[in-house]
Structure 1
C-alpha cells in the first residue's frame, strides 16, 4: 500500500509542476513572482526523487524560463523575474553536461546571456 501512496505523491507532484509551468509560461500570476520559485522547486523535487531524469527536468525548467523571459507579450517585470531565476537550472545542468556534452553547455550559457542582454534594462 505504501508504494501506491508514493506513486500517488509522485503523480501529484508532476501535476503540480505542470500546472506551475503553465502559470509561469503564460504569466497567469505575473504579480506573484513566487510562482516562479515554486515551479523551480517542484522541478528540483522531481529530479531528486528521480521521478523524471534530472537532465530532462532541468532542461525543461530552463527552457520554460528562457521562453517566458523572451516573450514580449508578457509584462517586463515577469520576464525579468524569469530571467533572474535562470542560475539554478544552469547550475544543476552544469555537472550533468560539462563532461558528456560541453558544447551543449556552452550553447545554454550563451543562450542565457543573449536572453539577459535582450531584455531592456527598464520597461518601455
Structure 2
C-alpha cells in the first residue's frame, strides 16, 4: 500500500498526465498515452479508484479528446486509436447485466463517433492588413 505522500504524488501525476492529453500539450509524444494508461492501472491497483471507474475515465478522456476539433488531427487520431484499451479492460469487469449494458453504451459511443476535421488556425502574417 502507498503512504500518503506516494498516493498524493500518484494522484497529482495522473491528473497532470490527463490534462496533458486532453489539452494536447505534447501532441508529438505518443508515449504519453502509454504512460497514462499505465498510470491509470497503478491508480486502481493501489486503491486510488475503483477499476471500472478508472477505465471508464480513461475511455471518456480519450474519446472526448478525439472529438475536440480544436486539437491537432494527428493527436485526435492517436487518442481514438487508444480508446479500445480501456474498453477491452472493461469487458472483464462487466460481470452483471447493469455493467454489461453500460459497456454496450460505451461501445456504441465509440462506434458512432463522427470525427470532424480539426479547426484550421490561420494567423495573418506580421505586417499584413486584416480585412
The bucket for the TM-score relative to the shorter chain is 0.7 to 0.9
Deviation string 1:44-103 (CA, Å, 9 cap, x unpaired) is: 111111211111111111110010011011111000000111121101111223424221
CA RMSD of aligned residues (A): 2.0
Relative to the length of structure 1, the TM-score reads: 0.85
Q: Which has the larger radius of gyration?
A: 2
Relative to the length of structure 2, the TM-score reads: 0.81
Match for residue 100 of structure 2? 102
Alignment of 1:54-73 (within 5 A): 54-73=51-70
Match of 2:72 among 71, 75, 83: 75
Match of 2:32 among 32, 35, 54: 35
How many Å separate the matches in 2 of 1:79 and 1:48? Answer: 28
Deviation for aligned residue 1:105: 1.0
Q: Is the 8 A contact 1:98 1:105 kept in 2?
A: no
Match for residue 22 of structure 1? 19
Match for residue 109 of structure 2? 111
Q: Is the 8 A contact 2:67 2:116 kept in 1?
A: no
Gaps of 5+ in 1: none
Alignment of 1:39-50 (within 5 A): 39-50=36-47
More helix by share: 1
Number of equivalenced pairs:
117
Further displaced range: 81-90 or 94-103: 94-103
